[in-house]
Amino acid sequence: MAENIVQDGRKKKRPGIEAQKQSIIDATVDLFIEHGSRAVSISKICSRAEVSRPTFYRCFKDKEELIYTLYQDSVNKHVENIMLKGLLTTKSIDEEWIQDALDQLIDTIFERSRLAELVFIESNDPNSPAYEIVNNAFERVADVLEKYLSSRVKIKPSRVFLKSIMAASQWIVHDAIRSGLSDKVKQEAKKANWQLIRYVLISMKENSANIQHQTPT
């Protein structure tokens, strides 16, 4: 494909495929928030991103692959790389480590707040691909947390309970995004999220201690 020629006669280099992918993703996020994922066609995405259909198909096989990439990057990559990998590989995990990991996860989500807003909206629609992807992520986190808590505090909370904590954390982050993401709002969200998680951890430790105390020797 020939390069564009600008008015002074110099060649204008076309953006590479990664830049084109990002333009398509950014346009898709805006359109999905405005209309919902099912109502947006590839033609609308191309128009908003200012790319041709051939360019779209060079970047993504189809709309389904675009959607998978969108939610995979926004949900699974963050959760797996920061929380799950750490819980599975870090030998010395204490409250300070957990708080730092949570803060890092939240900061990463805030960096792509528009995408996080879309995920929150779409994950509440059972017919949206985001619904299944978010729930699968919750299940994987619950698997790891069950093993971690069983080995550390000798108690196994229900999966419904663990997933409800994750949903509450997701709401805290979304509330911060809706509130404008000032430095104060970000810090309040981190503080609220840690208070929630720490309260859960303390409650579990206390329950574990009570169970051990009541167990006949």
Nearest Cα residue to 33 out of 126, 128, 109: 128
Alpha carbon distance, N-terminus to C-terminus of the chain: 79
What's residue 209's pLDDT? 56
- The three-state (H, E, C) secondary structure of the chain, written as one string: CCCEECCCCCEECCCCHHHHHHHHHHHHHHHHHHHCHHHCCHHHHHHHHCCCHHHHHHHCCCHHHHHHHHHHHHHHHHHHHHHHHHHHHCCCCCHHHHHHHHHHHHHHHHHCHHHHHHHHHHCCCCCCHHHHHHHHHHHHHHHHHHHHHHHHCCCCCCHHHHHHHHHHHHHHHHHHHHCCCCHHHHHHHHHHHHHHHHHHHHHHHHHHHHHHHHCCC
Nearest Cα residue to 196 out of 175, 170, 158, 216: 170
Q: Find out whether 23 and 114 touch, Cβ atoms under 8 Å.
A: no
pLDDT of 154 over the 70 cut: no
For residue 160 the two structure tokens come to 């419904």
Instruction: Pick the more confident residue, 123 or 150.
Output: 123
For the segment 56-68, the average pLDDT, to the nearest whole number, is 93
What's residue 123's pLDDT? 85
Percent share of the chain, pLDDT over 70: 76
pLDDT of 207 over the 80 cut: no
Sign of CA dihedral 87, 88, 94, 100: negative
The pTM of the full predicted model, rounded to 2 decimals, is 0.75
pLDDT of 78 over the 70 cut: no
Residue type at 50? Answer: E
Non-local (6+) Cβ contacts of 90 within 8 A are 97
For the segment 133-154, the average pLDDT, to the nearest whole number, is 78
What's residue 210's pLDDT? 55
For the chain, what is the mean pLDDT?
Answer: 81
Residue 104: pLDDT band (50, 70, 90) is: confident
Residue 7: pLDDT band (50, 70, 90) is: very low
